[in-house]
Structure 1
């Protein structure tokens, strides 16, 4: 990256990535499902959360350090599991894992990683393994054992993908993976590479590989297969959060999959308060979908989350500058969070979680998009 043109926000990285990535790869990463209603609503809902800062607090030693799953982190952040990262840079997940290790946050490696899990582990940081339950039960449990054997710190079971949502950008593009990009952790067919007239080859591939018969019994099976902490990702209903606690999970991720599964699903930040109310400390609660700034992280903490997962901005950083670009995204997030915490009178994460918030309906009821977002729409892409 040109030092004189270094991005200073996630939106800056998005603009830069949009200018260099092939259109169909940009669409695959940036797009959502259906009319992308939930994709847009995630951002609008976050912008409707306003913080009530405290004053006359000593924030001279403001710290963003916290814990996730009982272990220390430099930020209350983990990376979201994003598939096929070599689409945007040859080093793919290995580079983002090194960036996460340098930032002192967990890297969540996807089942559909384009770099084998063992190479991700070599980055030297803390790694959680995201699990899709495959149609082959033995192969899936083999992934769990492999994650434990290679030194992963947790299993993150994604529970909101019985099949891939209808991502219209990919359908219109008839998107297929390039021949050199593969799901490196699983033995699979060539379906994801076979461009055809019926839509997304990646969606066809996941339909072949993932079971739509995923039920709560799988949680017990994972518990029997490993002693690693278990996280369920993709919950939005309080009833499911209560059931997750009954099954003894260690954490849940309140998530609508970044607007990529059910279009019309509630924004994650809107679902968070009610889930916090019913969980009552029974497990850790993380949040993803739409997180772009340190202020967003503070919003989530103030509404009861233990931390957040960040996805697309890291991929934009990876596309623009490889490991250095991904690292810069996390550096900016840390700077923004510390700035927001200090200005809100929060000396640490515990104080951040005591902040009060208010919602401003005018933001979600049609206020014009910020100039940066308007510019992105004009350019043919979306920041959300």
Structure 2
């Protein structure tokens, strides 16, 4: 029977000497016992895993046809398996030759379900306190999507098992928000994606200064010195700035901006033109702030081009006056010289003056001066002296 069996062997010789021998025989038809401690799970996330357990004392253990050392009934080894389904075969052989074979079906799954998040993008900035997290979750080929799990910020979320698509609204807090999207399969493989989203509901900083103006005492308002003003200031770095709808560059390090804006002339019949300058700054979250400043232009303020034209006209007028003055001066000088020449010629052509002595005799004139050209000019003959006329009267002699 199974177990220990005593066989009595009795012998007696011819003189009746006898001897009894008891032979104990063990009948062992029972396979050795085996208790497996590892692996515990049927789905493994590591292709190299440990196999360990206990076996009946004196038994030999084989794992996938490879003998494993047994020490005091304990055995341990490492097995490498391919991805997918795998049979772990463990056999134990006792000293009686009884064999125990255990086949353990295992699945090696080292690949986590893939996650794709299409919205929001990393670093997204918004001024809305909620955001939709949109994406898909995909398991390995042949993996049942119904057993996949999806977590957003640690909260289990549902998804479409047929397509793997999901869309869930997440509440945001002011400032930086970390949105963690995690997938998990039945083996415990996980994949995480993190999206950083900033909630910014505050408008950007904006300061505006209007330059090239002066305080007009008549209007008691600042008016432009010329036909333009400078619109400058500071705003939040990275913000988009427009002045009267025109995009203006903002310094990427300081947030400074400067823009030259032309102020139209006052309309006919008006002495002043007031222009509203609309400056709008919009940050990356879509928050915007608008400042409206005023710039005035009064009559008499010409454009730079007109000033240049006026200067040219004044220069032409000045040159015309100079030329006209020179012409007048030339004409005057010419007339004066001509008059002098005529006077000289008249003087030279006139008869010399006749002088008389006290006795009443004419004195001969000096020799004639040479005329122009070197030859003496003939003088007119001196007049004959008139005879003295004596009129006798009763009173005295005249």
Question: Higher RCO, 1 or 2 (CA under 8 Å, sep at least 6)?
Answer: 1
Give TM-score, length-normalised by structure 1: 0.15
Give TM-score, length-normalised by structure 2: 0.15
**Greater Rg by CA:** 2
More helix by share: 1
